[in-house]
Structure 1
């Protein structure tokens, strides 16, 4: 078992059939290990430890699959599309993570086989390629545009906002660089997703929330606005703020109340803290709307948006009636 774990660690999460044979596990032993739940077969001739695999996120599993595919296919391909985005550490949402995407470097036509999509396209070595942990992947810029062109606007916003936040890419920079891909199917959708994206969005839930706001024609809010008291002291930083209406919006995801909650030993502590924070915001004459993952589902999203709109109008009525606007300049 020690030899097995060592091989899996060196490979980056998987072991090939021939490697199992090399360390003394014949095919009958491999089948027994699979039946016993020790190993899991994730691709033809590719195995992982079940105990580890079951604890991984879908994105981490995809990265392991990608590593095994790239090793098998060799230097004639490069990881691309959402596979490259995942390997580059970008957020991926709404993609088929059971399928690995590569782009051929040998000029041959594309094809789909055994859970791998082979794309055909022009790849410029000096602009489009980079190496991550020994793997050849397309650049962040290209990975974003590829993913956006084959995704919904919402999914594209997730990966583009992540690239802005994590890799320092700008929307104009990506749009300019993407002009060489204007002939691609889906390029217009990709450009829309990039224009709507913003690196200040800190989580997938916040990006999806901004997409919901755009989709339902709610005015675009300020992002990560800092609210201070009359003496200029910090009160709160809010996910979304409609300053003219003195209304704020907060996406409440798992990081606040679920398994990623920093107060896991006392979940009520986070809830109490958030309630006090909301009271402090309201104390500065701002209203607040809150929603979570459930509120972003397609069948209830319109209702969530309508609730936010009612909150905006209520705050406008309550907090701006006697407001004084001071002209600057």
Structure 2
């Protein structure tokens, strides 16, 4: 979706009254003061935030670099549990940060190597973005971002060493200890927000860390049965996070959700035939994981 600015319209000969008329009739929709899109804003919150970023960068100082949550959006990371009502930028100066209604300006040192260009906009590198988020966000949200950046199928997947280098550069900066904890916990094997949040909930419940993306084969024939989200092989127990998106992504052409559910039931039966306890949970269970943790403990066999 193209972003246009008031100055462009004025330079093309349109008056302020005409622009206001375009807004009233829906021909133009303001993104922020002085910037517009033709027609309506996109329904997708991430697409709207990208427009807000581009509009804000047209008004900010030339040394402003998109950072934090806004950088995560531009890098295409999974987004969960954070507000998108403000554009986050960092300026290379020791003081002078401010948080307004539309823009949060952070002040910090910023190495030129920690800046990349995305769509013609300067953005903090993936490593610097994850480090910044680890310093600023609660543990669960930070882990979601770190897991997404390190995801093993991501073409430019992040290595822990790259984030450590950023943290080591300013070891006394506030939040660095929390960022290191996030990084120690993060993994490239979590395939969704739900799986990342599940790992945090499992750890908070005091359960042993699971093996992720564990492949199950039939003991008798060696035939592949399936890959489970999480497993405790010694305890003969597997765990599956069931998000609705999961089923949409596994549909084959012409297949409906009902078929997927039947296949999933047959797969679960095959897992139980291998003497594995199976525990499933959904989004709402993540807000109160205690009952799910007890179900997992009840399925655990003595190691």
Superposition TM-score, scaled by structure 2 size: 0.88
* Partner residue in 1 for 2:125: 139
Name the counterpart of 1:223.
212
> Which residue in 2 is equivalent to 1:325?
none
Mapping 1:1-329, distance limit 5 Å = 8-9=1-2, 14-23=3-12, 26-49=15-38, 51-54=40-43, 56=44, 58-73=45-60, 75-105=62-92, 109-125=96-112, 127-165=113-151, 166=154, 167-230=156-219, 231-257=221-247, 262=251, 266-297=256-287, 301-302=288-289, 305-316=290-301
Contiguous gaps of at least 5 residues in structure 1: 1-7, 321-329
Q: 1:280 to 1:31 in 2, by over 3 A?
A: farther
Q: Structure 1 CA distance, aligned partners of 2:292 and 2:75?
A: 37
Q: Distance in 1 between matches of 2:82 and 2:174?
A: 17
Contact 1:256 1:270 in 2 (8 A): no
Deviates more, 1:212-221 or 1:307-316: 307-316
Change over 3 Å in CA distance of 1:184–1:49 after alignment to 2: farther
Q: TM-score, normalised by structure 1?
A: 0.82
- 1:205 touches 1:253 (CA, 8 Å); kept in 2? yes
Shift of 1:188: 1.6
RMSD of aligned alpha carbons: 2.4
Q: Which moved more, 1:139-148 or 1:58-67?
A: 58-67
With over 3 angstroms needed to count, the CA separation of the structure-2 counterparts of 1:123 and 1:283, relative to structure 1, is same
Q: Specify the SS of the correspondent of 1:235.
A: strand
CA separation in 2, counterparts of 1:75 and 1:63?
A: 18
Q: Give a deviation string over 1:114-165, Cα, whole Å, max 9, x none.
A: 411111111111x211111211111111100101111010110011111111
CA deviation after TM superposition for structure 1 residue 202, in Å: 0.7
User: Residue deviations 1:60-95, cap 9 Å, x none?
Assistant: 221221122123325321111111121111223222
Contact 1:79 1:137 survives alignment (8 Å): yes
Matched pairs, number = 298
Q: Distance in 2 between matches of 1:78 and 1:276?
A: 51
Q: Distance in 2 between matches of 1:32 and 1:261?
A: 47
CA distance in 2, matches of 1:34, 1:267: 42
